[in-house]
Amino acid sequence: MTQRCIDLGEREVVKRITEILGILQRDDCTTAEDGERCLVWTTDMLHRKADFPGIASPWQIGWMTIAVNLSDVAAMGAVPLGLLVAAGIPPETELSFVEEMFTGMRDCAHRFGTKILGGDLDSHDELTLTGTALGWVEKTHVLRRHGARPGDFLCTTGTMGSAGAGLRVALVAEGKERGRIEEDPNLLALTKRLLEPAPRIKEGRALALSKSVTSMMDNSDGLALSLYDLADASSVGFLVEEDLIPVDPLVAEVAKDKEDAIDLALAAGGDFELVFTVRPDLIERARLACEFTVIGTVLEEKKIWIKSEKGKKTLEARGYEHMLGFSDQEPSA
């Protein structure tokens, strides 16, 4: 009987591919040694049906394409060197759309201190944008998914859940309620969190330089899956304190209740924050690098627990699985 990709699931397909290619590493970026430095390098394909909700403007489509790639560079503690973009564009697309989209790419790259150096233009039935980002980090400072040790603090930058909440708003707007978003600054802010993610380049770099971080990745597929990947790479477990998870206050605008809000933070994905572990003796040094929230601790036991007022239970490994990076990028976008 023939096996189709859809029957196996993406993780199994990725496993087969990495076996064929002989790839072992699993970080947000591929690394290549270059003297005293590591080059870090990542690619991400986004396309109309899967990644760009109808309410996304051309400028936002461009911004997202660059931001998701830079987030992977940030997760390595690296400085971006530049980006390439291969763009497959339907021939009937209006020039103004293409111009705004590339302006969004340029603006995102500039905002995070880098630029688009080149690419490839192709015609394609479905708008398809593959970004590639290159960066560098000192060999002595590169941050990977492995390295967490029992007793370390589990930490995250920023807030969570707002991208997932923004996606709900966007999906409702695919119907007839688009006007409501424009009029409501909170809903508009949520869609911006989804469509204009801000990769943590500055924070990732500062954390790397602080030498206090033991492992790091971004949470593009949601906090829960990221924790499973980080735990797996480091052969450790986590105890997460549910009340410490920094759920974005705006999430309350669309969440049904507190549980639903936590669920958006854990499983919806798209927040592009950094999740990392810090040596307990160096937590103060880490705090000088950037703002972050301690949400739990690293356990020797290879399980991920989440503790709330209701008690302690195993964290479900649910999240955004639509796009899987292989190698060094599995499964983060």
- Site size toward a copy of itself, by CB under 8 A: 76
**Is 141 in contact with 209 (CB distance < 8 Å)?**
yes
Pattern 54-73, binding to a copy of itself, x per CB under 8 A?
--------------------
Determine, following the binding rule CB under 8 A, whether residue 328 of this chain makes contact with a copy of itself: yes
If binding is defined by CB under 8 A, does position 42 make contact with a copy of itself?
A: yes
Residues 132-171 that bind a copy of itself (CB under 8 A): 132, 134
User: Which listed residue (60, 65, 124, 196) binds a copy of itself by CB under 8 A?
Assistant: 124
> Nearer Cβ to a copy of itself, position 92 or 281?
92
* Candidate list 128, 156, 277, 297; residue touching a copy of itself; CB under 8 A: 128
Please identify, using beta-carbon distances, which residue of 7 and 177 lies nearer to a copy of itself: 7
Return the number of the residue (203 or 328) whose C-beta is nearest a copy of itself. 328
From 127-135, 164-172, 226-234, 295-303, give the range in contact with a copy of itself by CB under 8 A: 127-135
- Applying CB under 8 A, which part among 109-117, 182-190, 223-231, 284-292 lies near a copy of itself? 109-117
Q: Is the distance from CB of 77 to CB of 142 less than 8 angstroms?
A: yes
Q: Of 36-44, 155-163, 219-227, 303-311, which part binds a copy of itself (CB under 8 A)?
A: 36-44
Q: What are residue 65's phi and psi, to 5 degrees? A: -55, -40
> How near is the Cβ of 231 to a copy of itself at its closest, in Å?
21
Q: What SS3 state is found at 3? A: coil
Residue 272 sits in the site that holds a copy of itself (CB under 8 A): no
Kindly state whether residue 174 participates in binding a copy of itself, applying the rule CB under 8 A. Answer: no
Counting Cα atoms < 13 Å in the Cβ hemisphere of 73 gives 32
Could you write out the three-class secondary structure of 127-163? CEEEEEEEEEEECCCCCCCCCCCCCCEEEECCCECHH
Neighbour order of strands in the sheet with 293-299: 213-218, 274-278, 153-156, 293-299, 237-241, 304-308, 311-314
| Residues 141/109, Cβ–Cβ less than 8 Å | no
Cβ 95 to a copy of itself shortest distance, Å: 4
Q: Taking CB under 8 A as the rule, does residue 325 contact a copy of itself?
A: yes
Instruction: Identify the residue whose tokens are 């999240």.
Output: 319
Return the exposure string of 160-199: e unless at least 16 CB atoms fall within 10 Å of the residue's CB, then b. bbbbbbbbbbbebbeeeeeeebeeeeebebbbbbbbbbbb
Query: Of the candidates 43, 57, 186, 293, which one interacts with a copy of itself according to CB under 8 A?
Result: 43
Distance of CA 137 to the CA centre of its chain: 19
| Contact call for residue 246 and a copy of itself (CB under 8 A) | no
Nearest-5° Cα angle at 167, 223 to 275: 20
Among 59, 65, 125, 318, binds a copy of itself (CB under 8 A): 125
Asked if 95 is part of the footprint of a copy of itself (rule: CB under 8 A), the reply reads yes
Minimum CB–partner distance for residue 229 and a copy of itself (Å): 15
Interface region with a copy of itself, contact rule CB under 8 A, candidates 2-10, 150-158, 188-196, 225-233: 2-10
Q: What letter would DSSP give residue 28?
A: S
Give Cα 83 to chain centroid, integer Å. 17
